[in-house]
């Protein structure tokens, strides 16, 4: 069995929230039920992928607001929200509002860069400013300042008989700034996140440096270490810098024969892309981990990236059925998590 002398402290999961375009409500309800199940199983966090103009969750903030009213303890996050689609001030207002509704359980994960397929939609997204929009880290720093409650304008106070105006984003949710995460896939972005007071989301996709061998686990390990080094010397660090790793894991302990066959077929279809760098930047994909929980635990303890973290947000596979997610989450919480030294969070129950 793996050495559990350094137990896993926090266990989370990530879902894309797929839906049938002819019946999107059912898919969103399924996602909410999965989050409720996660809380009942003792998971520490549930994370939502952000998908625009696709058949997935286009508004994680609305979903987190709904989930916050159906749960009481589990943390809720985005992994990640591409900031290029957002107005930083309006996003700050929405996230602060949901964080207050959730009792301080929101973990916004963000990324920067030009929106995917920007040329096909910029006329709708930014019809008057598409060539002027700043999609750099500066956009994210502006958002972070707004979340922190820094001054937006000089004007504030009473106007007229009843109108009161503030010079910062309202409502303000104290502590939310400390819970901002950055989804980094390169050393440069990991260092930037650490230097600018963000926590680090490291997932199953990374970009190596030109002089690095294409070893996913070792490169992920080096990025995490670079992040921590930058965070330790940063004047903008907010408390202890956190790192979460997100790999696809598919435990099969309680899976039916049909589920095992489907899961293995899914992994087999995705495995070829993990064998060599992809694209002009040499993107590397992590291999999906499938097998019994003990087998997956052995692989994780041998993974250089996993060795650097004490919290994870395991990604649920795309396009599986609701019943499959129930089985996978149940096995993660009851078998894989404990095999990694994790203890389920105590679930608060309403008094009878």
Q: How far apart are CA 94 and CA 173, in angstroms?
A: 11
Residue 81 main-chain phi, psi, to 5 deg: -95, 115
Contact 50, 80 (CB under 8 A): yes
For 34-56, the pLDDT digits (tens) are: 999 999 999 999 999 999 999 99
Confidence at 346, pLDDT banded by 50, 70, 90? confident
For 216-230, the pLDDT digits (tens) are: 999 999 999 999 999
Q: How far apart are CA 119 and CA 107, in angstroms?
A: 30
pTM of the model: 0.95
Nearest to 306 by CA among 334, 273, 339: 339
Instruction: Beginning with the edge strand found earlier in the chain, give each strand of the sheet holding 109-111 in spatial order.
Output: 81-82, 109-111, 181-183, 199-202, 243-245, 311-315, 10-15, 45-48, 75-78, 106-107
Query: Looking at residue 56, what is its pLDDT?
Result: 95
In 115-196, beta strands by DSSP E: 157-159, 163-165, 181-183
For residue 349, is pLDDT > 70? no
Sequence-distant (≥ 6) Cβ neighbours of residue 307 within 8 angstroms: 221, 301
For 119-152, the pLDDT digits (tens) are: 999 999 999 999 999 999 999 999 999 999 999 9
In 211-319, beta strands by DSSP E: 243-245, 249-251, 284-285, 289-291, 311-315
Query: Looking at residue 238, what is its pLDDT?
Result: 62
Confidence at 157, pLDDT banded by 50, 70, 90? very high
Query: Looking at residue 160, what is its pLDDT?
Result: 82
């Amino acid at each position: 069995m793996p050495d559990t002398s350094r137990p896993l402290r926090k266990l989370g999961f990530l879902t894309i929230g797929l839906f049938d375009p002819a019946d999107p409500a059912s898919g969103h309800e399924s996602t909410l039920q999965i989050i409720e199940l996660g809380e009942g199983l003792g998971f520490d966090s549930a994370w939502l992928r952000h998908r625009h103009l696709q058949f997935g969750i286009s508004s994680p903030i609305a979903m987190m607001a709904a989930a916050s009213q159906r749960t009481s303890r589990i943390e809720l996050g985005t992994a990640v929200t591409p900031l290029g689609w957002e107005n930083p001030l309006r996003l700050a207002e929405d996230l602060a509002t949901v964080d207050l509704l959730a009792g301080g359980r929101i973990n916004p994960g963000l990324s920067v860069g030009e929106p995917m397929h920007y040329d096909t939609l910029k006329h709708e997204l930014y019809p008057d400013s598409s060539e002027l929009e700043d999609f750099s880290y500066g956009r994210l720093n502006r958002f972070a300042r707004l979340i922190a409650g820094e001054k937006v304008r000089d004007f504030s106070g009473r106007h007229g008989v009843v109108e009161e105006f503030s010079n910062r984003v309202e409502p303000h949710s104290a502590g939310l700034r400390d819970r901002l995460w950055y989804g980094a896939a390169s050393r440069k972005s990991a260092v930037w996140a650490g230097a600018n007071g963000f926590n680090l989301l490291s997932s199953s996709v990374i970009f190596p440096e030109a002089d690095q061998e294409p070893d996913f686990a070792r490169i992920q390990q080096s990025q995490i270490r670079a992040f921590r080094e930058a965070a330790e010397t940063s004047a903008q660090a907010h408390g202890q810098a956190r790192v979460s790793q997100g790999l696809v894991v598919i435990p099969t302990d309680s899976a039916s024969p049909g589920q095992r066959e489907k899961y293995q077929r899914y992994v087999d279809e995705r495995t070829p892309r993990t064998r060599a760098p992809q694209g002009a930047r040499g993107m590397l994909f992590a291999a999906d981990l499938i097998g019994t929980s003990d087998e997956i635990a052995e692989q994780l303890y041998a993974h250089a990236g996993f060795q650097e973290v004490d919290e994870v947000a395991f990604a649920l596979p795309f396009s599986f059925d609701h019943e499959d997610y129930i089985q996978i989450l149940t096995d993660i919480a009851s078998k894989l998590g404990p095999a990694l030294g994790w203890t389920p969070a105590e679930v608060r129950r309403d008094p009878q």
